[in-house]
A and B are shown apart, each in its own frame.
Chain A
């Protein structure tokens, strides 16, 4: 399979507009492109299925009573190559098998922490395995290494 090259296309699923904006800017600072922002499962459903994101950052608690786990399965169904990363203040709510997702960035994250996690993910996607040391701000699941 041909590996994507930077800039990567990133989907942000977050119902808190401030955080979404913040993440968006950090993603752009790192030289990537935010393909879309979504606040709920319905927003993700409304996206163009033909446009597959390389990485999706997914909050657990979403707007309109939907959850990150629902978004996670929708993404797996639609875009099987997308790397799914939960971004949540409640990592304990994530099932043991991560529901197929590739890792978690626990909130609160620092700019440092987020940027490091992003670099690690970029290397995982474009030039695996990553050479950067695993940052403390990111907890991968077994599914991430399976994509290398």
Chain B
């Protein structure tokens, strides 16, 4: 600690203790008669010095940490507490100050601040990188989606154009069936990418759209479409397979069950069940014969349902056909 005398010019030190001499490296006789500012150096914060000067001129006490220099030029952080000592008439007789070396404390604090800043910078940097990567991925996804759609559109166009040039009605019919499958896949893709969540696929919404498409374009105003379906969400990975299965069943109902322009009703119903979900497709057409069909359609239905863990059951109604697709616990 030091005591200074404000009544003398430049408020010189009139007393200093052992601890002060040890802390600063100066002898008592080297400091007596000098203003304390000799402890300051180029690294001392000017603002802190201003604050001390103002406190002294107002006759107030102040506690402040500032960088000081020892006699040997080394630095230390000084926790300075400075206070006026007043006499009976309340005028300031002396200033008293205690100095405490808080270098370790300050360095620790600085290090903590520096580390935090470093971490914050790192976090900001990584966040920026991730955001950029995400943006790139999103752009890429849109681009891929766009190209898939354009390619599907082109494939559809190519098949449609080709089918016009074929004279043989049997081949034309096969090509048309193929076109319908491509169309079904296109509808799957569109349904998927128009939804908010591209990982889930609502088979019910898809089935309705597809049925409308199939019935509508058959040009058969005598087929009535009745739908009563709750939303059924399945993983997007199964969307194409189930989409194709539904397409086979629906086109079969119209081309076979309601063949040769028969009037009829096509009914879609279903929703969640205890252990999965169920979709029923009923028509009141001619029903099916028991002999197993060798067509590609039936084979697609069998293979694709097996792949998605679903089952398909065909039963004869009187009149008509009922097809039940059971989706078992796909989670």
Contact = CB atoms under 8 A, between A and B. Distances in A.
B212 A136 contact: yes
Interface in B125-159: 142, 145-146, 149-150, 152-154, 156-158
Interface string A103-130: 0001111111101100100000000000
A79 to B, nearest CB: 27
Contact of A90 (B146, B161, B213): B146
Contacts of A133: 212
Interface residues of A, number: 26
A105 B324 CA distance: 32
Interface in B60-106: none
Contact of A111 (B156, B208, B212): B156
B210 to A, nearest CB: 8
A22 B186 contact: no
Given A91-B194, A108-B153, A108-B186, A116 B158 contact: no
A89 B154 contact: no
Contacts of B219: 115
B209 A22 contact: no
B153 A112 contact: no
Contacts of B305: none
Nearest to B225: A133
A108 B217 contact: no
B183 A111 contact: yes
A108 B152 contact: yes
Interface string B223-257: 00000000000000000000000000000000000
Contacts of A21: 157, 161
A25 interface: yes
A107 B150 contact: yes
B216 interface: yes
Nearest to A87: B153
Contacts of A100: none
B312 interface: no
Nearest to B146: A89
B221 to A, nearest CB: 9
A26 B180 CA distance: 15
B156 A136 contact: no
A16 interface: yes
A119 B212 CA distance: 13
Contacts of A16: 150, 154
Nearest to B211: A136
Given A115-B217, A136-B212, A89 B161 contact: no
Contacts of B109: none
A18 B157 contact: yes
Interface string A1-30: 000000000000000101101100110000
Nearest to B213: A112
A67 interface: no
A111 B163 CA distance: 12
B85 to A, nearest CB: 76
Contacts of B216: 112, 115-116, 119, 132, 135
A50 B80 CA distance: 92
Interface in B191-220: 194, 208-209, 212-214, 216-217, 219
Contacts of B180: 110, 112
Nearest to A119: B216
A112 B194 contact: no
B154 to A, nearest CB: 6
B225 to A, nearest CB: 8
Q: Which 7 A-B pairs have the closest CB atoms?
A: A110-B183, A136-B209, A112-B217, A112-B213, A22-B157, A108-B186, A89-B149
Interface of B: 142, 145-146, 149-150, 152-154, 156-158, 160-161, 164, 179-180, 182-184, 186-187, 189-190, 194, 208-209, 212-214, 216-217, 219
Interface of A: 16, 18-19, 21-22, 25-26, 89-91, 106-113, 115-116, 119, 132-133, 135-137
28 contacts: A18-B158, A18-B161, A19-B154, A19-B157, A22-B157, A22-B160, A22-B161, A25-B164, A26-B160, A89-B149, A89-B153, A106-B190, A107-B150, A108-B153, A109-B156, A110-B156, A110-B180, A110-B213, A111-B179, A111-B183, A112-B214, A113-B187, A116-B213, A116-B217, A132-B216, A136-B208, A136-B209, A136-B212
